[in-house]
Amino acid sequence: MTYIASDKRYESMKYNRCGKSGLMLPAVSLGLWHNFGDTGIYANMEQMCFTAFDNGITHFDLANNYGPKPGSAERNFGQILQEHFRPYRDEMIISTKAGYDMWKGPYGDWGSRKYLLASLDQSLQRMGLEYVDIFYHHRMDPNTPLEETMGALAQSVSSGKALYAGLSNYNGPALEKAVSILNELHCPFVINQNRYSIFDRGIEENGLKKTADRLGKGIIAFSPLAQGMLTDRYLNGIPQDSRIRTDGRFLKETALTPQRLSQIRSLNELASRRGQTLAEMALAWILRDGIVTSVLAGASRPSQILDNIKAIQNTDFSEEELREIDQFSR
């Protein structure tokens, strides 16, 4: 089949400026952390990419280690790109990362110049691309000098293999230091990728959110639905096709304590009063103040992508609603 994108793909999506840069991202982006590896169904991957792009999701986020097995998400997405999206490459934002264990030996992990630049070359080869739009360092490295890691990001851009640099899982103080170095290197660093949800407010507690806003850098939030807990999926037991049953690496049944389920029910009732599903409200809450550029939502089927996009229809919250969310979730 020949994929032809919808003529109406830009009619309903909102696009937010990434900090003070020129880059715009859709309010909802598609993350390929889950369901795009070798255990996924290729036809379903295709349909999720079609659905996303047809509805204005221009940003597709990967990392070198996404799978399982590591590298397989990039390889599968690369095949989809070659078969269907070549005519639309200039309409797409494709990002990848390096920073976690990827290959054997001392050069396949963390934040050395050797690892980052080699990993980027491997990612480009797997996806069949000449460049990615954003290349991230995936996590802070306590042993490699920050100047070396930031120098590698700057090199990735100056070589033409990435258009922008990003940081993932950095805290506020580390971000401040990194920005200073990247500014000296004239490297277009534009975005932070961090875990953020109603249940996980680490970027508020470690200063990342305030620091990024002050420095004019964007934020994209991953795990915005807390691995599915901020949905109505687990209110009546654990479905057999749920992530807990099919892939227990990241969300375990022990996380669904009676207290947590009580919180989910209270939040679900509030979302219903707002005329939203819990998932829609959870995504809207992240986008509520304009500091977060985009929410990075994963999906296991196309219908979930359409559900996630509905969140942008109402991102306004009353003070009472915000107080209730805080009360229910903390």
Percent of the chain with pLDDT over 90: 90
First to last CA, the chain: 49
Nearest-angstrom CA–CA distance, 149 and 112 = 6
pLDDT at 250 over 60: no
Measured between alpha carbons, how far is 310 from 281 in angstroms, rounded to an integer?
9
pTM score = 0.94
Query: Are the C-beta atoms of residues 124 and 161 closer than 8 Å to each other?
Result: yes
**What DSSP string runs through 191-258?**
EEEEE-BTTB-HHHHSSHHHHHHHHT-EEEEESTTGGGTTSSTTBTB--TTSHHHH-TTT--GGG--H
pLDDT: which is higher, 258 or 176: 176
User: Which tokens is 316 given?
Assistant: 């306004």
Band of pLDDT at residue 251, cut at 50, 70 and 90: low
pLDDT for 120-175, tens place per residue? 999 999 999 999 999 999 999 999 999 999 999 999 999 999 999 999 999 999 99
- Residue ranges with strand state E in the chain: 15-17, 24-26, 28-31, 59-61, 93-98, 132-137, 162-168, 189-195, 218-222, 294-297
Give the domains, in start order, of the chain with CATH numbers: 23-229+246-251+288-317 (3.20.20.100)
Torsion of CA 159, 79, 76, 227, to 10 degrees: 80
pLDDT tens digits, 282-293: 999 999 999 999
Report pLDDT for 247: 57
pLDDT for 233 equals 84
Kindly state the tokens that stand for 229. 């807990």
Q: For residues 102-110, give the mean pLDDT.
A: 97
Q: Are 182 and 216 in contact (CB under 8 A)?
A: no
Distance CA 222, CA 62 (A): 12
Q: Tell me if the bond preceding 68 is cis, omega within 30° of 0.
A: yes
- How far is residue 171's CA from residue 189's CA, in Å, rounded to a whole number? 15
Per-residue pLDDT band for 55 (boundaries 50, 70, 90) equals: very high
Q: How many residues does the chain have?
A: 330
In this predicted structure, the answer to whether residue 176 has a pLDDT above a threshold of 60 is yes
